[in-house]
A and B are shown apart, each in its own frame.
Chain A
Amino acid sequence: MFRKGFALLLALCLVLSATYALAEQPTKKITILSIWAEDNDNGILLTKLTDQFIAEVNPNFSYEYELVSADNLRQKVATMAASNDLPDVFVYESGTPLIPFIEDGYVLDITQALTDLGVLDKLDAGAVAILSNLTSTEHIYDLPLGLNVEGFWYNKALFAQAGIEAAPTTYAEMQTACEKLMAAGIQPFSVGGADKWPATRLINAYVMRKLGVDALAKCAAGEMSYVNDGIIEGAQLLQDMCNLGYFGEGPTTVDYNTAANMLMSGQSAMLYNGSWFTQSLASADNPAGDDGIGFFNIPVVEGGVGTLTEYSMNCGNILCLSAAKYDDATAAWLKYMVSNIGNYAIQNSGTLKGYTITEYPETLSNYTIMVADEFSKVTAASTWFEATMDSEMTATAQQNVQSLMNGDMTAQEYAQALQDVYDAAN
């Protein structure tokens, strides 16, 4: 009787102390500025994990989820920074766009914060290396929301239909594959030319194979001109592919989503994309099924220095925290998020986010396994075309790529326009 009573009293004390501990948590309402809707992509990750944090750690914590289109993200954040009112947490672009915010002390030193919280080891070392390289800083000031390799995805059924037996490993083989596909009445590529960045990625792919993974970093550092063989030949190749009809009619009118759907639905045979694509591929809505799409790394260029174990990699859009609004309550949220993102993402969407994973799901989609296999081959990495460019140069690269594809600009003019913007700014 006494034991029962004691056990009951102990349980009551535990419940009361837990309730008291939760009630003692600081009250805080944060704003999360995002480019993903709450039911989409990383929007799910951010909202679900924050909900979990509120339920498990701090019931006095709340958040407002604000949405902005990806096209307007830079403008919105820049305006908020100018009025000294950055959101507590905001999605942003890694690399060059972030540097002014770091210099002005607007964004939180993530390395320092995570070290203080004792969870720095929850970040994937590869992701940390990419982020710190992009900003040329020892510490990182942003959290990864992806860890991606980029390359060519192809529709296996269409390759078989055109009699292509193996994925191309050189640009010459890719050219032969395109000819076979055209002969079979199949559109070789789809590209989201309306969104511009998918087209500049194709130039970047050629440049990193021709001149190496650090070519654009050298250009940004002034060690090499943008008017170089890699960019001119890559731009010329893109224009030639357009003229040959490899991208179909009017590729500058096709958006990224349409281009991706075309590959999955068998309307095009190849698409350049990142491994974030696995989320769409693993979906039950993918008409190609769970094994219908294959991946091959950027082919090598004859006479180029790039190899097949070098990949174009990135951390996707990143997450920053306002330095001015960071306090104990936000620190607790940050610790929880960093500790749980990796496991949550692999279990719920089969994607890698740049965090350590301790609990793998029992079954992984073929596409996730395929991407994990590619990660195991990486010996060196390059970033995307505009990673080292400032906003004005990025706009020039992306606007002009449409003119290049339409034949309104030559490859030489394309490269020269980049160099002109660089010269004006330096």
Chain B
Amino acid sequence: MSRVLRDRRAILLFIVPGFILYTVLVILPVLWSAYYTFFGGMIGSSKWSFIGLDNYARLFQDKKFAAALMVNVRYIAMTTFGQVIFGLLLALMFKFWVKRFGSSVRTIVFFPVVLPVVAVGQLFTKIYEIQPYYGLLNSLLQGVGLGNLVYPWIGKADTALIALAAMDIWTAMGFYSIILYGALLDIPGDILEAAEIDGCNAWQLFRRILLPLLRPILLTCFVFSFTGTVKMFESALALTRGGPGTATTSLSMYMYNTAFSFQKTGYASVIALFIFLLCVFGARLIRAFDRKD
């Protein structure tokens, strides 16, 4: 094996096909997009012209961009933590609490992951419904005597993003629960037994034993969730269409509208480049926690 890995031709054979594919599918489009940032108008139209750095200058003055960025940051904070933490809680439940019908429970919890986003959006639209009939949530609130809490959850700016994040947490937490459950199964049983013999209570077991051992997988889950949520597009489109107002309009949605509705390909490319850098920066930030050890 080591002889093969010392062979330059073998290394080239392993790397070159993947590198070519990655270059064509990722690096070139990014560079292409960066090139577009110096142009105004829509590609193919008579207004497509070189405008230098004007698009970059506009980015820092654009209030809609700033608003979309804030929506993204709040959504990422809520959804990333929600997905991973609820995933972890479910994984702990699978490991220590669910003794019978374990595989059935795990299948049910994982089920939302395979549902189409549009179907989930329609489902939650009905759950949050207020007119002409109360949906599940408002009916429940009224049913338990909390009628004063009945609210247009996706119709008001103060709750729409939370309602959207709740939907996306529900959809993805099953995925993270399965990953973390797999990591929990990999922890040797004798470590857990030794901790029990030493008198660890549940919290100490979690804090001192499980959390450090799960840390690499947890960080990977955070990276997965972050890169998934930074895109924030289809679920918002399916549930709130970016509204009310711009309360759930993300950077991706703003970029899409700028490129295809407002026909400003160059400026949309600047926003796309920003999202790309945000992705790289966020993933590096999460990985920084890994380096400490």
Contact = CB atoms under 8 A, between A and B. Distances in A.
A408 B246 contact: no
Interface string A353-392: 0000000000000000000000000000000000000111
B20 to A, nearest CB: 25
Interface string B249-261: 1000000110111
Interface SS, B side: loop
Interface SS, A side: helix
Interface string B36-53: 000000111111000000
A409 interface: yes
Interface stretch (A77-85, A117-125, A210-218, A335-343): A77-85
Given A194-B243, A251-B131, A402-B243, A408 B157 contact: yes
B120 interface: no
A267 B130 CA distance: 13
A395 B131 contact: no
Nearest to A258: B132
B250 to A, nearest CB: 13
Contacts of A83: 44
A71 interface: yes
B43 A253 contact: no
Contacts of B44: 81-84, 104
B45 A250 contact: no
Given A258-B132, A400-B245, A391 B261 contact: yes
Contacts of B155: 193-194, 250-253, 402, 406
Contacts of B249: 399
Contact of B152 (A253, A262, A392): A253
A75 B132 CA distance: 32
A65 B241 CA distance: 26
A247 B15 CA distance: 63
A402 B131 contact: no
B261 A74 contact: yes
Interface centre among A76, A253, A391 (most CB of B within 10 A): A253
Contacts, number: 105
Contacts of A250: 130-131, 151-152, 155-156
B43 to A, nearest CB: 5
A196 interface: yes
A84 B263 CA distance: 15
A196 B152 contact: no
Nearest to A400: B245
Interface in A83-138: 83-84, 100, 103-104
Given A83-B44, A253-B129, A408 B245 contact: yes
Contacts of A240: none
Interface in B32-88: 42-47
A104 B45 contact: yes
Contacts of A395: 257, 261-262
B261 A75 contact: yes
B112 interface: no
B242 interface: yes
A253 to B, nearest CB: 4
Nearest to B47: A100
A402 B152 contact: no
Nearest 10 interchain pairs by C-beta: A250-B152, A75-B260, A403-B245, A253-B155, A402-B244, A82-B44, A250-B155, A250-B130, A252-B155, A392-B262
29 contacts: A75-B260, A78-B42, A78-B263, A82-B42, A82-B44, A82-B45, A84-B44, A100-B45, A103-B46, A104-B46, A190-B131, A193-B155, A196-B243, A250-B130, A250-B131, A250-B151, A250-B156, A252-B152, A252-B243, A252-B244, A253-B155, A254-B132, A258-B132, A391-B263, A395-B257, A403-B244, A403-B245, A408-B157, A409-B245
Interface of A: 71, 74-76, 78-79, 81-84, 100, 103-104, 190, 193-194, 196, 248-254, 258, 261-262, 267, 390-392, 395, 399-400, 402-403, 405-406, 408-409
